[in-house]
Amino acid sequence: MVGNFIGDFVRGKNIYDQFKSNIALGIELHREIDEFTDSHSVVMESKVRLRPKYRHYSPVIVDMFYDHFLAKNWQAYASNPLDLFALEAYAILNKYEAQLPGRVQSLLPHIIKGNWLYNYSRIEGIHSALSGMSRRTPYESNMHEASLDLQKYYTEFEDEFSRFFPELQQMSEKFIRSKIKVD
């Protein structure tokens, strides 16, 4: 979980030299998920809808929208409630704080204080996260307006997420099985 969480903040190919094997495996999984997602035809439908207004930021926004639908429908994918999962995830991330990249270490208190993992289930939570990202982008991104498009095309995005996510789950499970040796 830690590796998957920090995947966007880790550069380079020698991740097994930089991190313990279980964290490196999570980073590898994160990269596989990104590659699978970026090339998926259903995700492309979502990105195309946003591209005229958000250009190269549309993949980031779609990722956030899909995070919203995962959080909103959490009970369909997990046995423990989202609020409990979020608390457990924050505790694990705090436990591994010293091994987190510096940017994640500085961001983690804000994530916990704002309970981002839980608040992604609400459009207001997605709006807040995208607005924060918009303030940090080097170019005009308009991401602070993206929650309006989420609301406008809510049914379409939710349908696309619902078609995509089971395939992502299958890919992730297959990847993990291929990496874990069973004696």
CA–CA dist 129, 122 (Å, integer): 11
What is the dihedral angle through the alpha carbons of 169, 105, 75, 166, rounded to the nearest 10 degrees? -10
pLDDT score recorded for residue 105:
96
Mean pLDDT in runs of 10 for the chain (183 residues)?
A: 95 93 95 96 98 96 98 96 97 96 94 96 96 90 96 98 98 93 54
pLDDT score recorded for residue 182:
54
Please give the tally of structural domains in the chain: 1
pLDDT score recorded for residue 180:
81
Per-residue tokens: 108: 């983690």
Domain range for residue 63? 2-179
Query: What are the DSSP E strand ranges found in 32-87?
Result: none
Is the CB of residue 157 less than 8 Å from the CB of residue 123? no
CA–CA dist 109, 158 (Å, integer): 30
